[in-house]
Chains A and B, each alone.
Chain A
Amino acid sequence: MNKPISEETLLGKIALLAHKNKQSAFGETPSLEELAMLYDNQLDFNRKQEVLSHINSDPLLFEQFMNLVDVMYDNTTANQHVAESKNSSFTQLLSWLFSWKGLTGSVASASLVVIIVLQFSPTSPLTPLIEQPSYEANHEASNNGSKNGTQTASFISPDKRAIAAGIANASNDNVQQLKQLDLSIAINQQGSALEANIYQQYFQLGELLAEWEQLCRQDKGANTVFIQQFSLTINQISTESFIPVHQNLVKLSQAKQPEQACDLLQQFLLSEF
């Protein structure tokens, strides 16, 4: 006997059936180059709508676009796998350094600095933006300095600032737990020392953490799709960012039980913010 189709699939298919033949394509038929431009996000809004309407109503164009999507997904994912394997050897080296009993903290820190300098040479595309500190960051540092007399502002890593911004953005006013966190360290994209795309990833991570926290509050576990999104974000950050991902976040993405995940999330939020 057939399995019942899920309610989501049923609704989705009804919507597609209902929409069939409802709208015809508008605007000129797109060229192959315009399909490529659509994938590269280079079309203006109006043309994009026209091209999408053609893709939706012409099975051949839809097939061409899906072929392109498949090939490009393969290419980017294959590149990501190469980067991940490179990164994993780097993280393995790091974990070896830090797990060596005889090594003191200072030597470990010095090694980390040397490795980072070697790993991210000036030609690397992942080089952090450090040559032009932003106006906002300077302004904030000078304000903190004046408050504390001769003391300089304490360093808060840019990843934590971006995550805090994401949490602050997604926090619901009713959630007391998140309101108790010190999110004053949050910084916007213009003020961050991170490159825009990396800042966005940390920001999204913050939003996902806030959403997960709310699910834990309501005694609901995160569903598979949510956990996949979370793991993907963590993977992307591990690959692209020069800052190692916090261990609790890695554990969180691998947690098997909802209770365990909620505990790890709680620990991370309490220890970091």
Chain B
Amino acid sequence: MSVNWHEIVLSTKWLARLDHQAIKRFGQQGLAEEASSYVLEKLAKNNWACCNTYIGKAKPETFLYTLTGNLLEEFSRKRFGRPRPPEWLKREGELWVSIWKMVCLERQGVMTVTDNLCKLGNREPHFIEGIIRTIKARLPWCGSSHREIPVSAVCAYEQKDDNHTHEIEDHSIAQQLNAQQLEDTLQLMAQLLVFISRPSDKVKFTECALTMNHEQLDNLYQSLELSPEEQLLLKMAYQEGMKMNAIAKAMNLPPYQPGRLLKGILKRIEHALNDANISTQDIQSLLQGSRE
């Protein structure tokens, strides 16, 4: 399908949006301008060759924004390298990795990152601040110098990244669920999770010292089943910290719907855990105990 990309991309409106997107991504004006130029150059290269994958099904503007987002990330990789984030951080979800990139590698200011990620109210600032605090507590080198970090240094720091102090408020679920004190008591939960991820282990699981019968296990298994939409909803709410209205927009739902859907999913999970004699209060007090 033939689209006049030249006309769309070089329009004042689209250029202003590109600048806005770059500023939001990199925080600093100079770097953002450099990134915008990189994107424009890449888009226009070989007579808009990278737009050739467009087959005319999506809106051209939405397609362009997807392309632009990828090119901005490509720019960041070229400029700052491709260091691997620590494993514990990856477990927390993609938002943590993005913030780690912004704060530790690109050395954007905490305020800038918080403002950019919460601009127009799609997230609560304290959610982002909590993540930054945890990352900085566990990775003391993060954002401390203005020179670029060699990849080897990042890998070396990865080895030491668990030497953090417990006095600093730690929002990572890994810290909360992997603490030494919890290992024995959460074995039940771990077995449960293993069982859920590998239903073929059901017989093995039922042989362990649990007071659950087949019916309870079946119910638990079914109740924790999530559709792709439900899984994305949970990720947006609990990993990305997005507000309900932002989730509704992202998933093409009426504004009241995500809240109701989440309520339903959580109720289902809570009932399933209760039926299997696991209460959230018990888990909560175990988590509390591990941190004291």
A contacts, CB < 8 Å to B: 1-5, 7-23, 31-37, 39-42, 49, 52-53, 55-56, 59, 62-64, 66-78, 81, 200, 204, 207-208, 225-226, 228-229, 232-233, 236
Q: Which residues of B contact A225 (CB under 8 A)?
A: 244, 259
A5 and B63 form a contact (CB under 8 A): no
Q: Would you give the shortest CB distance from A184 to chain B, in whole angstroms? A: 25
Which chain B residues have a beta carbon within 8 Å of chain A's beta carbons? 17, 20-21, 24, 53-55, 57-59, 62-63, 65-70, 72-73, 90, 94-95, 97-98, 119-122, 169-171, 173, 176-177, 189, 192-193, 196-197, 224, 226-229, 231-232, 234-235, 237-240, 243-246, 249-250, 252, 254-256, 259, 262, 265-266, 269-270, 273, 280, 283-284, 287-288, 291-292
CA distance A110 to B94 in the complex (A): 56
B55 touches A33 (CB 8 A): yes
In the complex the two chains form, is B229's CB within 8 Å of A52's CB? yes
Q: Within the complex, which residue of A2, A9, A63 is in contact with B291, where a contact is CB–CB below 8 Å?
A: A2
Chain B residues in 8 Å Cβ range of A21: 197
Q: Could you say which residues of chain B place their CB within 8 Å of the CB of A72? A: 62, 65, 249-250
Across the interface, do B270 and A11 meet the contact criterion of CB distance under 8 Å?
Answer: yes
Residues of A within 8 Å of B119, CB to CB, are 74
Q: Within the complex, what minimum Cβ distance (angstroms) separates B26 from chain A?
A: 13
Cβ–Cβ contact B53 & A33, under 8 A: yes
**Closest chain A residue to B291 by CB distance?**
A2
Which of A18, A19, A74: most chain B Cβ within 10 A? A18
Q: Which residues of B are found within 8 Å of A8, using beta-carbon distances? A: 262, 266
- A66 to B259, Cβ gap below 8 A? no
Chain A hits for B256, CB < 8 A: 204, 207-208, 229, 233
B-side contacts of A40, CB under 8 Å: 58-59, 62
Contact (A39, B62) CB under 8 Å given A33-B53, A62-B94, A78-B120: yes
Q: How far is the CB of A76 from chain B (nearest CB, A)?
A: 7
Residues on the A chain within 8 Å of B72, using CB:
67
Contact of A56 among B55, B68, B228, B273 (CB under 8 A): B228
B169 touching A228 by the CB < 8 A rule? no
Q: Complex formed: what's the CA distance from A9 to B196 in Å?
A: 20
Task: Say whether B192 contacts A63, CB under 8 Å.
Answer: no
Describe A's contact surface by its main secondary structure. Answer: helix
Nearest-neighbour CB distance to chain B for A84, whole angstroms, equals: 12
- What are 30 inter-chain pairs, A to B, with CB distance below 8 A? A1-B291, A2-B176, A4-B287, A5-B173, A5-B176, A12-B266, A13-B238, A15-B266, A17-B193, A19-B224, A22-B197, A34-B57, A35-B66, A36-B65, A37-B57, A37-B58, A39-B250, A52-B231, A56-B231, A67-B72, A68-B62, A68-B69, A69-B246, A69-B249, A69-B250, A71-B68, A72-B65, A72-B249, A73-B120, A232-B255
Contact (Cβ within 8 A) B224 A15: yes
Q: How far is the CA of A188 from the CA of B68 in the complex (A)?
A: 42
Within 8 Å by CB of A74, from B20, B169, B238, B269, lies B20
Contacts of A15 in B (CB 8 A): 224, 226, 234, 265-266, 269
Contact B239 A16 (CB under 8 A): yes
Q: Please determine whether B224 and A11 come into contact, CB atoms closer than 8 angstroms.
A: no
- A68 near B57 with CB under 8 A, answer no
Q: How far is the CB of B188 from chain A (nearest CB, A)?
A: 12
Q: Which residues of B contact A81 (CB under 8 A)?
A: 120
User: Measured between alpha carbons, how far is A76 from B57 in the docked complex, in Å?
Assistant: 21
Q: Which of A5, A32, A66 contacts B67 (CB 8 A)?
A: A32
A189 to chain B, nearest CB (A): 13
Given the known A-B contacts A36-B62, A71-B21, are A12 and B238 also in contact in the complex, defined by CB atoms under 8 Å? yes
Instruction: Return B90 CB to nearest CB of chain A, in Å.
Output: 7
| Contact in complex: A11, B280 (CB < 8 Å) | yes
Are the C-beta atoms of A41 and B252 separated by less than 8 Å? yes
